[in-house]
Amino acid sequence: MIKTPWMSGWNRAAWLCACMSLTGFFGRASGAPLPNIVVILADDLGYGDLSCYGAKKISTPNIDRLAKDGMRFTDAHAPASVCSPSRYALMTGRYDWRTSEQCGVLMEDAPLHIEPGRLTLASMLRKCGYRTGCIGKWHLGIGMNPKTDWNAPLAPGPLEVGFDCFFGLPANHENQPLIYIENHEVVDRVPGEKIEITGRSADDMTKGVTKPRVNEECGLVLADKAAAFIEGASADKPFFLYYAPIEPHNPITPNERFQGTSQCGPYGDFVQQLDHDVGVVIGALERKGVFDNTLIILTSDNGGLVYGPDGQTPQSLALRMGHKINGELREGKHRVYEGGSRVPLIACWPGHIPAGTESAQVISLVDLIATFADAVNYRFDDRELVEDSFSVLPVLLGQHNDTPIRAPVISVSTLGIFSIRDGDFKAVEERDRLPAITKHMPKPIEWWGSDNRKQVYNLKNDLSERQNLMAERPDVYERLTAILTELRRDGSSKAFDATVAP
């Protein structure tokens, strides 16, 4: 960042926010129709899993098409290296570590994690006249009790935070109960029977439904539901689809249609199934005649998983077969390193986002709500805080240079270790005491990582984070961790102090 007297502290932040407030006026011409918006949030998709990001053993032509027609980001980050915190941040514009859930991940039967009355992507767009739909993995809690009662109406949930309809899973596709939920109800209930969970394993039967959810069918079912939402949209009302596929999260369960189709085993097959699912959504947009007026974001909730018990996993097999799940990045899901937080992100909006372009801007999934607000000319009121979200619409539209457009990006590991990124440098904070993993989480295991020490990396020169520069650049560590402390203290990223240049 460039240090100038009038662009430090509050003044710099005020200038940045003022500039962002103008972006809506050039994001959509006056009188132009509102764009449809589709967010595709893959589950554990690694930075190197797509052929448009360098994969050689996996083919992803449908996703590659979005990159060809739009913009590919090379430095986009999940707010956490595990799913629930990233999904909360994406939906609310607020880092999840500002809540009571400081680290870890929600259990499948947790209560609704989004606070009552908090603005979300869905509720904001519904205010703008959008029909809003959520299809796929939710994993942000359902109900108000400490544990979800599957035999009661499943509320509050997605419908109470702004969605007009919901079809999907409470959490991961292997989690019990093996059910689908539609709006507030379990699908295919057996009349008069209670839903009972007979064990913790995915192989155990869920009682009380006529057909328990089948892992190998789940991804295709959700893709068809997403397409049906698009095809059922009214011609005189824009729609927002939040589509959260299950792929390629564990267990790796590709449908038989995709088994053996990649060059790196079942994991690659599952990623290719994800590409098929994306193709189903693209096809629905084309049949509806709305592809050209749809803003599509495709990304992942965290980096790809590269660890497992004894190395005997589909991911381990893919790595041995030459596939680089997270490309050249260090490690993966759960960890504080780039493999855990840096994710593929593709934005496509024909006629608005320049086709076949690439951006190295450092951005975060938490930025989506402010970006979409600008795209539809929505103005947040004083109660709609979106504390950590910055609009990157000027970047999408090709109207911004390489100057950083947002405050330093923060990510947190599963165990609560913070990293902060500003310009070329990244610091990993050493904490005196890590947050206690909540009671429902298993004890920390080795492959979650225990990277709690002072670290500094120059990612421009060392993308794989091989050389810790702490001894050579303690000044960078002190500067970045001071900013981190400030952002945590202030409860917002909107007025960060950047008075010291890197």
Angle formed at CA 232 by CA 228 and CA 236, multiple of 5 degrees:
145
| Three-class DSSP category at 312 | coil
Q: Establish whether 139 is a catalytic residue.
A: yes
pLDDT score of 10 = 31
Q: Judging by beta carbons within 10 Å of its beta carbon (0-12, 13-18, 19+), is residue 489 exposed, middle or buried?
A: exposed
pLDDT score of 203 = 54
Please tell me the distance from the alpha carbon of residue 305 to that of residue 57, in angstroms, as a whole number: 17
**Whole-model pTM over 0.85:** yes
Q: Which residues contact 5 (CB under 8 A, 6 or more apart)?
A: none
Cβ atoms of 272 and 262 closer than 8 Å = yes
DSSP letter assigned to residue 85: H
pLDDT score of 402 = 83
Which tokens hold the place of 171? 């959490």
Site of tokens 């904070």: 429
Please tell me the distance from the alpha carbon of residue 121 to that of residue 496, in angstroms, as a whole number: 24
Q: Which of 83, 103, 134, 348 is catalytic?
A: 83
| Strand spans (E) along 195-293 | 196-197, 206-207, 239-244
| Three-class DSSP category at 186 | strand
pLDDT score of 353 = 98
Q: Which of 77, 139, 249, 276 is catalytic?
A: 139
Cα-based distances in Å from 69 to 3, 52, 326, 362, 364: 36, 12, 23, 21, 21
pLDDT values of the chain reduced to their tens digit, one per residue, 502 residues: 323 222 333 333 433 443 444 333 344 555 678 999 999 999 999 999 999 999 999 999 999 999 999 999 999 999 999 999 999 999 999 999 999 888 888 999 999 999 999 999 999 999 999 999 999 999 999 999 999 999 999 999 999 999 999 999 999 998 999 999 999 999 999 999 999 887 655 556 789 999 999 999 999 999 999 999 999 999 899 999 999 999 999 999 999 999 999 999 999 999 999 999 999 999 999 999 999 999 999 999 999 999 866 678 999 999 999 999 999 999 999 999 999 999 999 999 999 999 999 999 999 999 999 999 999 999 998 888 899 999 999 999 999 878 899 999 999 999 899 999 999 999 999 988 777 664 445 555 555 666 889 999 999 999 999 999 999 999 999 999 999 999 999 999 987 754 433 3
| Three-class DSSP category at 145 | coil
Walk me through the domains of the chain, giving residue ranges and CATH numbers.
Answer: 35-251+258-408 (3.40.720.10)
Site of tokens 């009661």: 152
pLDDT score of 104 = 86
- Cα pseudo-dihedral 250, 101, 200, 165, rounded to 10: -70
Q: Strands 71-77, 363-364: parallel, antiparallel or unpaired by DSSP?
A: parallel
pLDDT score of 20 = 41
- Cα pseudo-dihedral 270, 274, 276, 281, rounded to 10: 160
Q: Establish whether 83 is a catalytic residue.
A: yes
Cβ atoms of 73 and 361 closer than 8 Å = yes
